[in-house]
Amino acid sequence: MRDTESFDECYRATSHRLLGYAYALTGNWAQAQDLVQETYMRAWRQWGRLSEYDDVESWLRLVVSRLATDVWRRLQRWRAAMRLLGTGGDAAPADESAVLLQQALRGLPRVQRQALAMHYLFDMPVAQIALDAGVPVGTVKSWLSRGRAGLAAALQAKDGDRDE
């Protein structure tokens, strides 16, 4: 038997954080909304089991990550087609600074982007990111270090462009 109350509470507590994470991975609010909705629909299907997990958000994050990498192109096409037809996305326009970050993130490899998002959006320590990603701690440190350097350079360049 699935408990609607615990699901709704989990959704309220985690959905916007997951949305930020999905945005960091895809760079598009409409896609991020799609991914998050799909993730929670899948979660509800298995809620009887999931609700017993100690850390449901970790499962949700994993599904968002997989959807972002595996289904990204198809969802992108779907949304693009919807937008062309004027029937899609009710996502609010993003603020300029978020767009700058999104553009900067896009220049980074997926693993670095994911590690940065986990670290800055979920306050996850390096060891936990390593556990989630299934890689050694040193690898995550390297991703974060390179990711920060790449992001800093990209943000500086964007700032420079904006100042000119």
Partner 1 sequence: MMSEIENAFARVVVEAERQGLPLAAQLRDRSDRRARRRAAVGTLAVAAVLAASATVLLPLLGREAPDQVAFPSGTAVQTSAPQPSTSAPSSAPPPTAGCPGGKFTKTIPAKVLVSGTNRDVPDIPLEYHCGKPATGDAKKALPKVCPDQSDAGDTSILGRRGILAYLKPVQEGYTPNTYFHTVTEYTAPEAAAAYLAGLRAAVAACGEYRVGSLRYDYAVTDGPALGDESLTLAMSVKVDPPAEGTPELATFRISVVRVGAYVSVVTDHGWEGDPTPDAELDPVPTQAAARLSTL
Residues that bind partner 1 (CB under 8 A): 4, 7-8, 11-12, 15-17, 19-20, 23-24, 29, 32-33, 36-42, 44-46, 59, 62-63, 66-67, 70-71, 74, 77-78, 81-82, 85, 87, 90-92, 94-95, 97-98, 100-101, 104, 116-117, 120-121, 148, 151-152, 155-156
Structure tokens at 41: 């629909």
Tell the smallest beta-carbon distance from residue 138 to partner 1 (Å): 21
Contact between 128 and 100 under an 8 Å Cβ cutoff? The reply is no
Q: Output 38 or 139, the one with its CB closest to partner 1.
A: 38
Q: Output 1 or 41, the one with its CB closest to partner 1.
A: 41
d(CA 79, CA 121): 25
d(CA 17, CA 21): 6
d(CA 63, CA 158): 31
d(CA 25, CA 110): 7
d(CA 136, CA 17): 25
Tell the smallest beta-carbon distance from residue 22 to partner 1 (Å): 9
Tell the smallest beta-carbon distance from residue 145 to partner 1 (Å): 12
Tell the smallest beta-carbon distance from residue 160 to partner 1 (Å): 13
Give the type of residue at 126. V
